[in-house]
Amino acid sequence: MQSLVVGGGCFWCVDAVFRQVEGVTASICGYAGGDTPDPDYRSVCTGLTGHYEVVRLEFDKSVIDADTVLDIFFTTHDPTSWGRQGHDAGSQYRSALMYENDEQRELFERAKERAASIWDVPIVTVVEPLKIFYEAEEYHQNYYARNPYTGYCMAVINPKISAARKRYAQYLRAS
């Protein structure tokens, strides 16, 4: 098993996409990157905690490799936008990769270089050390599956899943 912490805007979106990916055994929404201890959703949304909305992805590397996980990450959100993903705006929505060791840092930097070849403008994804990961409140976990017909899920998350399915069908579970 391998674990990566990624932030691609709203954690509901990242979580929903990766729950479709074969080999992903866990997707946990949370907060990381700031200095405020024990953040909650309300405090993170103020922009004052320094935390990002992130997802801890755990996956079986015998089924899917880290490079593919990161390629999916870079093509299912906009890594060229600072603090914004569509209508979601704020510092908590930054594109981020949080590494736990030098090997992950190098993995993330290589993934950014690959992603740069498919985007017309510079990638602004931050790559920084993971100090601590705080699990988000229960109602954020697996949000899409529990609320598929809300406006946000239909308008924002469904197109991301469709894009992932179109580009990475061989890695996604049958719907």
Cα–Cα distances in angstroms (integers) from residue 152 to residues 20, 49, 85, in the given order: 18, 25, 13
- d(Cα 101, Cα 162) in Å, to the nearest integer? 33
Rounded distance between C-alpha atoms, residue 142 and residue 147, angstroms: 9
Provide the token pair at 114.
């690959």
- Separation of first and last alpha carbons in the chain: 24
153 is an active site residue: no
Which listed residue (10, 13, 29, 153) is catalytic? 10
Q: What angle do CA 12, 120, 51 make, to 5 degrees?
A: 35
Q: Which CA distances in Å does 54 have to 128, 136, 159?
A: 13, 9, 20
Q: Which residues are catalytic?
A: 10
